[in-house]
Amino acid sequence: MTLIYKILSRAEWASAQAAGRFDGSAVDLADGFIHLSAADQAQETAAKWFSGQADLVLLGVEAEGLGEALKWEASRGGALFPHLYRPLLTHEVVSQRELELDADGVPQLGVLSA
């Protein structure tokens, strides 16, 4: 099992839970897919895109369960990132936790399972 991760606001996650699906944040909708990160990419993603943002949630999703809609594509620095080309169904989320910011305002993910 390979876990991949999505960082989103608590409000976005609450809306997704009510709907049973997460269609994507503004950047996801603009790009046409849901941006996800592998375990070794998630902390850098948090620092680059979410610094200074409170009320964040980290979702863990089993990559193999997403089927052919999950594509690993070159992104930051040529690294392959997981992109989901369909909504993320809330029942596909296997873990969730709220994130704390460090003294510099960077969300801290801690140790993630790969």
pLDDT in tens, 16-33: 999 999 999 999 999 999
For residue 76, pLDDT beyond 80: no
pLDDT value at position 27?
A: 94
Q: Which fold has domain 3-100?
A: ADP-ribosylation fold (3.20.170)
pLDDT for position 18: 98
Alpha-carbon distance of 21 to 88, in angstroms, equals 6
Identify which has the larger pLDDT, 49 or 113.
Answer: 49
pTM (2 decimals)?
A: 0.94
pLDDT of residue 110: 87
